[in-house]
Structure 1
Amino acid sequence: MVDETSDFFGRGKNNINPKKGKVLIAEPFLEGRYFKRSLVLLAECNEDGAIGFVLNKPINLTIDEVLINIAHFEGDVFVGGPVDINRIYFIHTIPNLIPNSIHIFDNLYWAGDFMVLKELIEQKVVRPEQVRFFAGYSGWSIGQLSEEINENSWLVSQLDVSEIMNCNNEKLWEQSLRRMGGRYKMWSNFPENPGMN
């Protein structure tokens, strides 16, 4: 019997396929400004590639501090990824109010008519737990995400909609790994800068 926690640096995929609605958890060895210790919600994932949004990298600005001509709305804007960072994207749980919303899973959607959303914010109809904003997105071309998963850059996991909509917790990366147990729990304690140990 093998104790999988005994091999701290052992690589082993968790055998969950990436698909729309799943969450990618960066392995502790993954570096980079956008993806180091990140969780990425996959808003789309098919044979043509994948689109996602980093969930746990707030920029500590509200949407009205980022865009002009929009009413004040509580809740941080997050860095969604390295692609198209000068554009705002959003996910939400109010498809009945926002036309042209794209279904992700359960009651979670992305995109839709932004002008309608602006009006809803102006009218104070929506709450921060119903809408999350991102500057930019994360994108993978055909086969790229599968290749990165095979290289052990990502673990594939799942969060429920309420966790996704409320996860402004910078400890979410560690919490998600601990929840997976085994060696992943140990990875959550891996120092951000190993050279400092």
Structure 2
Amino acid sequence: MLNSIKPKTGRLLVSEPFMADPNFKRSVVLLTEHGEEGTVGYILNQAGNLLLKDVIQDLWEANNLIYFGGPVAADTLHFIHRCYDKLQSGEPIGNDLYWGGNFETLRILINTNAIREDEVKFFMGYSGWDHGQLDREIDQNAWMVSDIFNPDLIFNNDDEQLWRDVVVNLGPKYAHVSNFPIDPSLN
């Protein structure tokens, strides 16, 4: 399933359908940093069972799901957003998406209902690769890379459908992969 698109900040990693690593099974990862120091990203389609208000006590009405961002620093909270106009902070990652920002401002905006749930996505932990590690995994066909996606996909809450949509967006060469069963032994 080799594709020729290289990883880069703002691109998506799509796990091959039968990846053995349970942390990344049928995962879509948004890359927020890719360079000489390595790669950082967040798994977009592994919703946890906690809401933001369960983790941050003074966010009374914050019903945002918290996603498993990856196995690194699983006790840290991170966010991706598309509301720079309101937050006035964050690192640009492309497609009018931003990584992080001023959390105190975000807290105020959430408590005053100035930010919608579909404008920000929260993650516990992150996914990380040392320099060259991700390239090796791509060469081993563990990942496909996508540079074409609608930013609305980032805030989609249907985990399995998100993976399928991104695979289909890779083009006709990959579209059939979206129909592979989760467990081929049950087929």
**TM-score, normalised on structure 2?**
0.91
Question: Would you say how many aligned residue pairs link Structure 1 and Structure 2?
Answer: 185
Mapped partners of 2:165, 2:111: distance in 1: 35
Mapped partners of 1:142, 1:133: distance in 2: 25
Mapped partners of 1:90, 1:72: distance in 2: 17
What does residue 18 of structure 1 align with? 7
Instruction: Indicate if the aligned counterparts of 1:71 and 1:121 stay in contact, CA closer than 8 A.
Output: no
What does residue 177 of structure 1 align with? 167
Structure 1, gaps ≥5 residues long: 1-10
Tell me by how many angstroms 1:189 deviates.
2.0
* Inter-CA distance 33–174: structure 2 relative to 1 (3 Å threshold): same
Asked if residue 83 in structure 1 is aligned to residue 69 in structure 2, the reply is no
Structure 1, 143-152 or 67-76: larger mean CA deviation? 67-76
What does residue 27 of structure 1 align with? 16
Mapped partners of 1:102, 1:183: distance in 2: 33
- The higher radius of gyration belongs to 1
**TM-score, normalised on structure 1?**
0.87
Aligned-pair identity (%): 38
Tell me by how many angstroms 1:84 deviates.
0.9
What does residue 53 of structure 2 align with? 64
Over aligned residue pairs, what C-alpha RMSD do you find?
1.6
Mapped partners of 2:171, 2:102: distance in 1: 40
What does residue 134 of structure 2 align with? 145
User: Matches of residues 122-141 of structure 1 in structure 2 within 5 Å?
Assistant: 122-141=111-130
Residue 95 of structure 2 aligns with an amino acid whose one-letter code is: D
Asked if residue 167 in structure 1 is aligned to residue 156 in structure 2, the reply is yes
Instruction: Indicate if the aligned counterparts of 1:42 and 1:51 stay in contact, CA closer than 8 A.
Output: yes
* Inter-CA distance 23–142: structure 2 relative to 1 (3 Å threshold): same
- Report SS of the residue matched to 1:71: coil
Tell me by how many angstroms 1:15 deviates.
0.5
Tell me by how many angstroms 1:100 deviates.
4.1
Instruction: Indicate if the aligned counterparts of 1:54 and 1:78 stay in contact, CA closer than 8 A.
Output: yes
- Report SS of the residue matched to 2:109: helix
What does residue 82 of structure 2 align with? 93
* Inter-CA distance 67–192: structure 2 relative to 1 (3 Å threshold): same
Tell me by how many angstroms 1:41 deviates.
0.3
Q: Deviations over 1:39-81 (max 9, x none)?
A: 0000111121111000011113320022222232233111101
Tell me by how many angstroms 1:25 deviates.
0.4
- Report SS of the residue matched to 2:84: coil
Structure 2, gaps ≥5 residues long: none
Mapped partners of 2:178, 2:50: distance in 1: 28
Tell me by how many angstroms 1:126 deviates.
0.7
